[in-house]
Amino acid sequence: MTRNLFLSVLALSLCMSLSAQKTCYYDAASLNVIGKAIPTSKDYTRIDTSAYKFNDAVIEEFACHSTGLAVLFATDSPFIKARWQTSPKNASENMTAIAQKGLDLYIRQDGEWVFAGVGRPDMDKGPDYACHEGTIVKSMALGRKECILYLPLYDRLDSLFIGVEEGSYIEPLENPFRHRIVVKGSSVTHGLAASRPGMSYAARFGRDNGLYCFNLGFSGKSKLQKEYAEYLADIEADAFIFDAFSNPSAEIIHENFDTFVDIIRAAHPDVPLIFMQTERRESRNFDTWREDFEARKQAAAEQEIRDRMKTDRHIYFLPSDDFLGDEHIATSDGSHPTDLGFTYMLESISPKILKILRKYGIK
Amino acid sequence: MTRNLFLSVLALSLCMSLSAQKTCYYDAASLNVIGKAIPTSKDYTRIDTSAYKFNDAVIEEFACHSTGLAVLFATDSPFIKARWQTSPKNASENMTAIAQKGLDLYIRQDGEWVFAGVGRPDMDKGPDYACHEGTIVKSMALGRKECILYLPLYDRLDSLFIGVEEGSYIEPLENPFRHRIVVKGSSVTHGLAASRPGMSYAARFGRDNGLYCFNLGFSGKSKLQKEYAEYLADIEADAFIFDAFSNPSAEIIHENFDTFVDIIRAAHPDVPLIFMQTERRESRNFDTWREDFEARKQAAAEQEIRDRMKTDRHIYFLPSDDFLGDEHIATSDGSHPTDLGFTYMLESISPKILKILRKYGIK
């Protein structure tokens, strides 16, 4: 809190001299922060846990992650720097710290978002260090740059200041993404093994297709709980995409599925609900217990959806046979798709999802 | 040292009771450790720094990494566990801890190496913790499993014990890889942003094609130094693949290239030297200084090789235009290919390298 205050005062009052170029830092919250399905009181929190209760400390911690959030701005500065503060938590062993608590910048070029650079969290100072600072891109040509900066995928973000050259402008950029697509899921959706915050499949699907996607991935905690359904019911949404069957067992799928859909349907009677089958995990390759558990889970998921599709013509099912390719090289640990896994997955799901969305005028 | 001794005594004398199954640990050094281009005195060290001097503390640290090393063994145990000790260094921000200091297991199935599981380093205990323990795969069907376990890509490995069920056998497995291919390079070769130790491009090229590859990637330190050339000259090798131009500037390439090749050629007059152009880094996208630096570097590399090719018919050059695809999504930080980047790169280089190797009877 003291540190936040210090950084705010710094941003308001101080331009730093670094070599010949002076850097002025601006509070990113004063720019255009996108990616919240419902507004929250804190700048970089996905879900307001004072308004929505989940009765689970881990879910409430994840709700405060900046997953899927991004800052839109334009500047004519020749460089972009950042100072930001996260939790002091170390990165998980199956993900990069850049994905967990770093920043990922893209600049619009001929209508396409092109990767420009990353904000590297400072891990050398040990796991108790939470203040990061770095140059994301430098030596850029003159002129206006329209930027999207993706925020940490798997950590909370307590503050963020963007540094530009003294005398340059920095201003909010209008959200260019269309419609409102909710992506609700597990660690796969959370983007655990993406290499950078903008490489989760939800971010890529949105960026590649110009669609406004909200990332509601909750690692290990996405079990069709009614508390999520109640939150989803409150969202103004044009479509829902679900990675809903990665975390629950077959038994929990049977127990929770109908109530979960009932709650959403009461609020959104005609909105398409697109359910992806969970991926075929690579941890099944030799583990017979896992093979049985996963096969039963997938069967339960397909059965529940097929049943529901008989009476609900706005529910869709996407098989997952080709989500991870066939070479067994698409995960960081047997479960979590890497950028390669997400590439395979997007090659499979993007055309199918876009075809469904077009039926609803979403394009 | 005390800890090593303790673990050794443990392995010799103790079988641990864990639930119903008892686990016996065996020193992996007593199995078949492959991947050293020249034998070393320490079990898991790539290059013996008492025999080869590099006049650079970082290079000598990297020489002691277990990069590219793997343990070959067969067992009929239903599970495989591991206890291992690395340095206490935290993972770099652009790589996973599994790649840096973890383990990566594949089991042979119908002649193919299929991913089976990872050994996850324990990062929860903080950056000063260096002893790791975990189950890599469990609940396997009865019968013999032929295994290759890749060792940490970017750390030293002080000890490794493999745990199998009491009463099961574990024995060395013969090295199935043919010929001797040296892969010398930078952080790209070191495998920095691979998600797991077995996903570096050198490991994948070897595994996919049945070729015995030695990984001599040295992150940031691969500048055509003569000390490397002297080491390479001593290796009994059938071919050399070089990612030689990622680290040096244009000036250093011009200064060092001929001497570097001269030293190797004196020992290996007819062995194919396959030089890859360095990748087009994504950090060039908007950074004009980087664009100029990299373009001059690539031009210098191509000029030196083309010149040399006029008098040496066993030198080959592989352009890199398609190494990272064209979507700007193949690196974790603008420089380091992820599993996706390595997939693009292998799609490009594998057919070209295999075609060259066939001319020398290497297949």
> Using one digit for the tens of pLDDT, what is the confidence trace for A70-103?
999 999 999 999 999 999 888 789 999 999 999 9
**Statement to judge: residues A166 and A183 lie in one domain:** no
**Statement to judge: residues A184 and A137 lie in one domain:** no
Q: How many C-beta neighbours within 10 Å does residue A243 have?
A: 29
**Statement to judge: residues B257 and B325 lie in one domain:** yes
Residue in A with minimal Cα distance to B127: A126
B90 contacts A123? CB cut-off 8 A: yes
Distance separating the N- and C-terminal Cα atoms of chain A: 43
Residue in B with minimal Cα distance to A343: B340
pTM: 0.94
Determine the average pLDDT of the residues in A357-361.
Answer: 98
Inter-residue contact A353 to A318 (CB < 8 Å): yes
pLDDT score at B128: 66
B93 contacts A97? CB cut-off 8 A: yes
Q: For A158-170, what is each residue's pLDDT tens digit?
A: 999 999 999 999 9
Contact list, A90 vs chain B (CB under 8 Å): 90, 123-124, 126-127
- Per-10-residue mean pLDDT for chain B, 363 residues long? 41 49 95 98 96 96 98 98 93 91 97 97 75 97 98 97 98 98 98 97 98 98 98 98 98 98 98 98 97 98 98 97 94 97 98 98 96
State the pLDDT confidence band at A126, using cuts at 50, 70 and 90.
Answer: low
Contact list, B141 vs chain A (CB under 8 Å): 286, 288
**Statement to judge: residues A253 and A126 lie in one domain:** no
**Statement to judge: residues B192 and B160 lie in one domain:** no
A330 contacts B93? CB cut-off 8 A: no
CA distances from B160 to A17, B113, B209, B213, B355 (A): 50, 22, 27, 22, 38
**Statement to judge: residues B165 and B184 lie in one domain:** no
Tokens describing residue A216: 């509601």
Closest Cα in chain B, distance from residue A355 (Å) = 23
Cα-flanking dihedrals φ and ψ of residue A286, to 5°? -125, -5
**Statement to judge: residues A239 and A342 lie in one domain:** yes
Closest Cα in chain B, distance from residue A308 (Å) = 35
Which residues make beta-bridge pairs with B91?
none
State the pLDDT confidence band at A2, using cuts at 50, 70 and 90.
Answer: very low
Burial B328-352 (b: 16+ CB within 10 A, else e): bbbbbbbbbbbbbbbbbbbebbeee
Q: Which of B124, B153, B172 is the last residue of a domain?
A: B172
CB pairs A-B closer than 8 Å = 168
Inter-residue contact A77 to A164 (CB < 8 Å): yes
Contact list, A334 vs chain B (CB under 8 Å): 115, 117-118
Q: Which of B115, B149, B172 is the last residue of a domain?
A: B172
Q: For A250-306, what is each residue's pLDDT tens digit?
A: 999 999 999 999 999 999 999 999 999 999 999 999 999 999 999 999 999 999 999
Q: How many structural domains is chain B composed of? A: 2
**For residue A6, pLDDT beyond 50:** no
Closest Cα in chain B, distance from residue A281 (Å) = 11
Cα-flanking dihedrals φ and ψ of residue A77, to 5°? -70, 145
Residue A175, judged by CB atoms within 10 A of its CB (0-12, 13-18, 19+), counts as: middle
pLDDT score at B186: 98
Give the H or E element holding residue B242. strand B239-242
pLDDT score at B350: 98
**Statement to judge: residues B225 and B97 lie in one domain:** no
Q: For A202-231, what is each residue's pLDDT tens digit?
A: 999 999 999 999 999 999 999 999 999 999
Q: How many C-beta neighbours within 10 Å does residue A345 have?
A: 24
Average pLDDT, rounded, for chain A: 94
Which of B195, B205, B209, B287 is the best substitution to test chain A (most A C-beta atoms within 10 A)?
A: B195
Inter-residue contact A42 to A69 (CB < 8 Å): no
Contact list, A116 vs chain B (CB under 8 Å): 285-286
B288 contacts A115? CB cut-off 8 A: no
CATH number at residue A34: 2.60.120.260
| Of A83, A76, A74, A72, the residue nearest A18 (C-alpha) | A83
Cα–Cα distance for residue pair B186/B53, rounded to 1 Å: 18
B98 contacts A333? CB cut-off 8 A: yes
State the pLDDT confidence band at A37, using cuts at 50, 70 and 90.
Answer: very high
**Statement to judge: residues A187 and A168 lie in one domain:** no
**Statement to judge: residues A164 and A218 lie in one domain:** no
Closest Cα in chain A, distance from residue B327 (Å) = 8
Q: Which of A104, A137, A172 is the last residue of a domain?
A: A172
**Statement to judge: residues B45 and B135 lie in one domain:** yes
Q: Which residue has the tokens 């049977």?
A: A254
Closest Cα in chain B, distance from residue A270 (Å) = 36
Domain enclosing residue A247, as ranges? 178-359
ipTM score for this prediction: 0.93
| Of B333, B339, B354, the residue nearest B104 (C-alpha) | B339
A127 contacts B333? CB cut-off 8 A: no
State the pLDDT confidence band at A10, using cuts at 50, 70 and 90.
Answer: very low
**Statement to judge: residues B75 and B199 lie in one domain:** no
- CA neighbours closer than 13 Å in the CB half-sphere of residue B361: 4
CATH number at residue A260: 3.40.50.1110
A331 contacts B288? CB cut-off 8 A: no
